[in-house]
A and B are shown apart, each in its own frame.
Chain A
Amino acid sequence: MTINRRIFLGSTVAITTSLCAPAVLTAQGRPQVVVVGGDAGGATAARYIANDSQGAVDVTLIEPTRAYYTCFFSNLYLGGFRDYESLGHSYGTLAADYGINVVHDWAIAVDRDTKTVRLAGGGSVPYDRLVLSPGIDFIEDSVPGWSLAAQNAMPHAYKAGSQTQLLRAQIAAMPEGGTFAMVAPPNPYRCPPGPYERVSMVAHMLRETNPTARILIADPKESFSKQALFEDGWERHYPGMIQRIGPDFGGGSVEVDAQAMTLSIDGQVENVDVCNVIPAQRAGSIAFAAGITDGDWVPVSAYDMSSRADPEIYVLGDSAAQGAMPKSGFSANSQAKVAANAILAALTDARAFPARFSNTCWSLIDTDDGIKVGATYAASDEGIVSVDSFVSQLDETAELRAQTYRESIDWYTAITSDMFG
């Protein structure tokens, strides 16, 4: 079967976007790559492997959601800068144009001896190489008083989708002069500047709709990403609205009551109207099920993103112990390309090239006030190491801050096309 580089016409693989899981998907004679997680890491890996192999490799993508709502830029929706639908992306193009076997199901187990992935709906999928990109899951009991049962009363909104819509609705329903509280996570966590961009966006929304409202952050961390820039921006744009309680003042000693809607910081109880709890994080559950984790995350080789425990399983994005790179969508997309190249070199006669990575994280503080931080990275025996880093400066012109925001919009369009076709 020949496949046009862009358009995939017809398929001998039985299952495309099916609600029913098959008994067994046979290998069809071509090497099989299974990707678990249709996100920044997984969707990118699936697309690059399918596209660059020109049909020589069969790719199955297992993803429970039918549309992917990006966590990155979801803060901009909270701030009223984007609408919800603009965050959503379908898997239709990956299925139609790239011939990727998109299976909407949960991967619940990995049998590394038989090299199969078991699906929640029944049945299993064989692999020659497996890519896991399962994002994060929350560590139970990391915030006393909070569990997944409380996530409607106190949303995390740290997996985008209905949680993001819920949080925005709660902000809109705040009483005049009410309190928006955030319990910030300990390191390491997904999207280092994320909670602080969120605070900025909530402040922006409240300044318009509820200017006497206040924002309270309980933070177990001494410092955070782009801190000087955020604090300078908060002072300029939202003076007096935001209070951050760091570990020195009990920010790491927190308890919540989702029924009473209270947040206790070092014993001091506050009534809150919205409580955004962002708990401590670990790798996605399938990584633990596969038996490749060490502590909370999966150790990987920086040279090709293969897991140390099993070199035929590659782990991308948040779930990986990714060395110097932050847990960002940009990083996952960058790592996916290194893994895709390595997998194609292993399964076909494609050439292998040395790993190279990069990341840029953009954050919006207020209208036309955007900042960024980033770096280039390389592989070493010890893991992914930083080569050269950069960050926005305090004394930048308003024009540069506006340009930084505008380019992030172009980036979002480009990277989601890079991921979803």
Chain B
Amino acid sequence: MSARQILTGALALTALATPIAALADVVRGEALFRPCRACHMIGEGAVHRVGPDLNGLVGRRIGSAAGYEYSDDLTEAGAEGEIWTDETLDRFLAGPRAYFPGTNMVFRGITASEDRAALIAYLSAEGGAPDGAAQTGGTDIDPEIATILEIEGDIAYGAYLSSECTACHRAAGGTDIPSIAGLAPSVFIAGLLSYRNGTRQHLVMNALAQRLGDEEIAALAAYFASAE
């Protein structure tokens, strides 16, 4: 079933209950999802980018979308059988790093509980149930990321380039400027690409990333993957 069919089906099932409220939640949730699109895709054709594609998220084991390199915190939670439920998602969206301190997701959180509920309703409706058929493109990697992953990064060049990063990014990370040391190459590359192509907006990062070619990004990814 496509996400759209699921959405229609979900709406049909709730038609006897509070159809207008449910639809309003999903619509509001879609608006709330806009900033998330800087890193996440959902729905038809979704692939992993900075963050994993969110099809089949609700009801799935944490940190388990195939082909995405999660932080250790999320991988371990999934290994222990923890699931993305309405409750765990609500807790995560309220403050990702309060829940999982080691998460790579750089997001301050959503304060209003009704907003979080609306967003979860949208994720559920648009992303569908966590069965293989509903997940579209789950293991497909963004071709731009794949191209750079194929380049053998020059670590010594990456070390030199990294000195431009360390003016702001320290290894331990800050509250607003995250740590970039030890990131999986696909996640690191996706991050810089999202700034280079403007999917993610930040005045400083856009300017810095725009003058990084594929060779430079590969070198940096290789260097930071090797850094503690």
Asked if A376 meets B163 with Cβ closer than 8 Å, knowing A413-B174, A417-B170, the reply is no
Inter-subunit contact B177/A410 (CB<8 Å) = yes
Bound CA span A417–B169, Å: 10
Bound CA span A391–B207, Å: 11
Q: For the complex, is A330 an interface residue (Cβ under 8 Å from B)?
A: yes
Residues in A283-340 with C-beta less than 8 Å from chain B: 330, 333-334, 337
Inter-subunit contact A372/B167 (CB<8 Å) = no
Inter-subunit contact A389/B207 (CB<8 Å) = yes
Inter-subunit contact B163/A374 (CB<8 Å) = no
Query: Contact partner of B167 among A334, A388, A390, CB < 8 A?
Result: A334
A341: which B residues are within 8 A, CB to CB? 160
Inter-subunit contact A418/B167 (CB<8 Å) = yes
Specify the main secondary structure of chain A where it touches its partner: helix
Q: For the complex, is B18 an interface residue (Cβ under 8 Å from A)?
A: no
Q: For the complex, is A385 an interface residue (Cβ under 8 Å from B)?
A: no
Q: For the complex, is B31 an interface residue (Cβ under 8 Å from A)?
A: no
Stretch among A28-36, A259-267, A353-361 lining the B interface:
A353-361
Asked if A390 meets B206 with Cβ closer than 8 Å, knowing A414-B168, A414-B170, the reply is yes
Bound CA span A376–B207, Å: 7
Inter-subunit contact A411/B167 (CB<8 Å) = yes
Q: For the complex, is B80 an interface residue (Cβ under 8 Å from A)?
A: no
Which one of A48, A333, A411 has the highest number of Cβ atoms from chain B below 10 Å of its Cβ? A411
Bound CA span A333–B166, Å: 10
Asked if A374 meets B204 with Cβ closer than 8 Å, knowing A351-B156, A353-B157, A410-B177, the reply is yes
Residues in B140-177 with C-beta less than 8 Å from chain A: 156-157, 159-161, 163-164, 166-170, 174-177
Give 1 or 0 for each of A362-401: 1 = CB within 8 Å of chain B CB.
0000000000101110000000000111111000000000
B161: which A residues are within 8 A, CB to CB? 353, 356
A407: which B residues are within 8 A, CB to CB? 168, 174, 176-177
> What distance in Å separates the Cβ of B216 from its nearest Cβ neighbour in chain A?
9
Report B's interface with A, CB cutoff 8 A.
Answer: 156-157, 159-161, 163-164, 166-170, 174-177, 203-204, 206-208, 210-211
B163: which A residues are within 8 A, CB to CB? 48, 337
Bound CA span A392–B206, Å: 13
> What distance in Å separates the Cβ of B60 from its nearest Cβ neighbour in chain A?
31
Bound CA span A356–B176, Å: 25
Bound CA span A418–B169, Å: 10
Bound CA span A353–B206, Å: 22
B174: which A residues are within 8 A, CB to CB? 407, 409-410, 413-414
Inter-subunit contact A410/B207 (CB<8 Å) = no
Inter-subunit contact A390/B211 (CB<8 Å) = no
A390: which B residues are within 8 A, CB to CB? 203-204, 206-207
Which one of A48, A330, A356, A414 has the highest number of Cβ atoms from chain B below 10 Å of its Cβ? A414
B204: which A residues are within 8 A, CB to CB? 360, 372, 374, 390
Q: For the complex, is A415 an interface residue (Cβ under 8 Å from B)?
A: yes
Inter-subunit contact B170/A392 (CB<8 Å) = no
Q: For the complex, is A403 an interface residue (Cβ under 8 Å from B)?
A: yes
B164: which A residues are within 8 A, CB to CB? 334, 337, 356, 358
Q: Would you give 11 A-B contacts (Cβ < 8 Å), ordered by A? A: A337-B160, A337-B163, A358-B167, A358-B207, A376-B207, A388-B207, A407-B168, A413-B170, A414-B169, A414-B170, A414-B177
Bound CA span A372–B159, Å: 27
Bound CA span A375–B164, Å: 12
Report A's interface with B, CB cutoff 8 A.
Answer: 48, 52, 330, 333-334, 337, 341, 351, 353, 356, 358, 360, 372, 374-376, 387-392, 403, 406-407, 409-411, 413-415, 417-418
Bound CA span A390–B203, Å: 6
Bound CA span A386–B187, Å: 30
> What distance in Å separates the Cβ of A39 from its nearest Cβ neighbour in chain B?
15
Bound CA span A313–B174, Å: 36
Bound CA span A39–B170, Å: 19
Inter-subunit contact A415/B207 (CB<8 Å) = no
Bound CA span A389–B204, Å: 9
Bound CA span A330–B168, Å: 10
> What distance in Å separates the Cβ of B42 from its nearest Cβ neighbour in chain A?
24
> What distance in Å separates the Cβ of B195 from its nearest Cβ neighbour in chain A?
12
Asked if A410 meets B210 with Cβ closer than 8 Å, knowing A330-B167, A337-B163, A351-B156, the reply is no
Query: Contact partner of A387 among B169, B175, B211, CB < 8 A?
Result: B211
Which residue of A is nearest B178, CB measured?
A410
> What distance in Å separates the Cβ of A48 from its nearest Cβ neighbour in chain B?
7
Inter-subunit contact A376/B203 (CB<8 Å) = no
A330: which B residues are within 8 A, CB to CB? 167
Bound CA span A418–B171, Å: 10
A334: which B residues are within 8 A, CB to CB? 164, 167
Inter-subunit contact B166/A374 (CB<8 Å) = no
Bound CA span A358–B211, Å: 11
Bound CA span A418–B177, Å: 15
Inter-subunit contact A353/B176 (CB<8 Å) = no
Inter-subunit contact B168/A388 (CB<8 Å) = no
* Cβ-closest 6 pairs across A and B: A410-B174, A410-B177, A414-B170, A390-B203, A337-B163, A407-B176
Query: Contact partner of A375 among B156, B166, B175, B207, CB < 8 A?
Result: B207
Bound CA span A413–B164, Å: 15
Bound CA span A372–B203, Å: 9
B169: which A residues are within 8 A, CB to CB? 414
B206: which A residues are within 8 A, CB to CB? 390
Bound CA span A417–B175, Å: 16
B160: which A residues are within 8 A, CB to CB? 337, 341, 351, 353
B168: which A residues are within 8 A, CB to CB? 360, 407, 410-411, 414-415
> What distance in Å separates the Cβ of B113 from its nearest Cβ neighbour in chain A?
19
B203: which A residues are within 8 A, CB to CB? 372, 374, 390-392
Bound CA span A360–B156, Å: 25
Bound CA span A372–B208, Å: 15
Which residue of B is nearest A52, CB measured?
B159
A414: which B residues are within 8 A, CB to CB? 166-170, 174, 177
